[in-house]
């Protein structure tokens, strides 16, 4: 089984992103920063927030679904707000997406907020709401189940250091995982956590038997050349002892976002 985790950056690097996702041959894709705007046929919209202006693919979720015809897609929005087509406002949703190859049976799942709650008419105040999605699959190739969870961690204006909100966030993530994971099978947890490697996040997840593959295997950078700030850690992939890791990579090339993809092959 191959599992991919990636913050897609709203599809800003659209062409290389779509090519990569269509060719990487992942069984499960855990994606963050995905938009869906069902009221428009525009390809590109613009996100505006004070001095931040970012291009967004209007219907990135649908575009990814189209290049993954053998997968089922689950869209998990955190908010419904406004993007812009020129000066015209367009209603859009933003959040996580999980794609699962149809040869694997989805036998359990849970979706919930780890910070804040769903905002139905605006993106909301900073730090904005975040959610997590946890699925349990039956892998027919080996006749066993696996639980996979992804999270997009909250973004604090003052950086990635631990805060009270991040303590609450990981407790909510652990509670969500426990809704799905029976405790005696393979477990993978991944995503853009927006924390540093010394965060209490990893202590809490460690109590589930999880070990982070990014830091423990010597990787020091999960960002691409498109990210110009300091602090190069953001994305993580953790596994428990039941997972047989055959390959793990923090993918430097191709660059398909300002985040690097995390790619895990398991036996």
The pLDDT, as a whole number, for residue 73 is 98
Using CA atoms, how far apart are residues 41 and 5, in angstroms rounded to an integer?
A: 28
Cβ burial of 239 (10 Å; 0-12, 13-18, 19+) is buried
pLDDT digits (tens, 9 = 90+) for 192-232: 999 999 999 999 999 999 999 999 999 999 999 999 998 89
CA distance 219 to 23: 24
Q: Please state the φ and ψ torsions of residue 169, each to the nearest 5 degrees.
A: -60, -50
Q: How many residues does the chain have?
A: 267
Q: Does position 104 have pLDDT exceeding 90, yes or no? A: yes
Q: Which helix (H) or strand (E) holds 91?
A: strand 88-101
pLDDT higher than threshold 90 for residue 8: yes
Q: Does residue 266 surpass a pLDDT of 90?
A: yes
Question: Is the confidence at residue 182, as pLDDT, over 90?
Answer: yes
d(CA 31, CA 6): 5
Looking at residue 244, its pLDDT comes to 98
Residue burial 192-203, b: 16+ Cβ < 10 Å; e: rest:
bbbbbeebebbe
For residue 94, give the nearest of 56, 67, 127 by alpha carbon. 56
Percentage of the chain beyond pLDDT 70 is 100
Strands 186-192, 144-152: pairing is parallel
pLDDT at 173: 98
d(CA 226, CA 163): 27
Instruction: Report d(CA 17, CA 20) in Å as an integer.
Output: 5
- Residue 51 pLDDT greater than 90, yes or no: no
Q: What is the fold of 2-266?
A: Deoxyribonuclease I; Chain A (3.60.10)
- Cβ count near 180 (within 10 Å): 18
**Does the pLDDT value for residue 158 go beyond 90?**
no
* pLDDT at 21 > cutoff 90: yes
pLDDT tens by residue, 22-33: 999 999 999 999
* pLDDT tens per residue, range 105-133: 999 999 999 999 999 999 999 999 999 99
Grade residue 50 by pLDDT with cuts at 50, 70 and 90: confident
* CB-based burial label for 185 (10 Å; 0-12, 13-18, 19+): middle
Average pLDDT, the chain: 97
Backbone angles phi, psi at 28, to 5 degrees: -130, 130
Q: Give me 168's structure tokens.
A: 């609450």
| 140-155 pLDDT, tens digit each | 999 999 999 999 999 9
User: Does residue 254 have a cis peptide bond before it, meaning omega lies within 30 degrees of 0?
Assistant: yes
Q: How far apart are CA 164 and CA 127, in angstroms?
A: 12
> pLDDT value at position 109?
98
The C-alpha atoms of residue 111 and residue 105 are separated, in whole angstroms, by 17
């Amino acid at each position: 089984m191959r599992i991919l985790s990636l913050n897609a950056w709203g599809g800003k690097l659209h062409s290389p992103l779509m090519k990569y996702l269509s060719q990487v041959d992942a069984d499960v894709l855990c994606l963050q920063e995905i938009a869906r705007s069902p009221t428009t046929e525009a390809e590109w919209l613009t996100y505006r927030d004070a001095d931040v202006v970012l291009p967004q693919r209007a219907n990135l979720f649908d575009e990814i679904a189209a290049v993954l015809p053998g997968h089922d897609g689950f869209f998990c929005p955190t908010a419904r707000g406004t993007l812009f087509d020129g000066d015209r406002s367009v209603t859009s949703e933003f959040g996580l997406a999980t794609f699962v190859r149809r040869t694997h049976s989805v036998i359990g799942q849970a979706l919930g907020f780890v910070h804040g709650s769903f905002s139905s008419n605006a993106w909301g105040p900073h730090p904005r709401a975040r959610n997590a999605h946890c699925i349990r699959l039956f892998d027919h190739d080996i006749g066993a189940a696996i639980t996979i969870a992804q999270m997009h961690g909250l973004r604090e204006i003052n950086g990635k250091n631990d805060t009270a909100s991040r303590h609450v966030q990981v407790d909510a993530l652990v509670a969500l995982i426990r809704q799905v994971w029976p405790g005696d099978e393979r477990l993978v947890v991944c995503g853009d956590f927006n924390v540093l490697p010394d965060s209490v996040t990893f202590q809490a997840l460690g109590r589930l038997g999880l070990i982070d593959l990014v830091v423990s295997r010597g990787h020091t950078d999960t960002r691409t050349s498109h990210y110009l700030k300091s602090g190069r850690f953001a994305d993580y992939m953790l596994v428990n002892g039941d997972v047989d890791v055959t390959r793990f990579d923090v993918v430097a090339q191709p660059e398909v976002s300002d985040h690097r993809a995390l790619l895990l092959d398991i036996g």
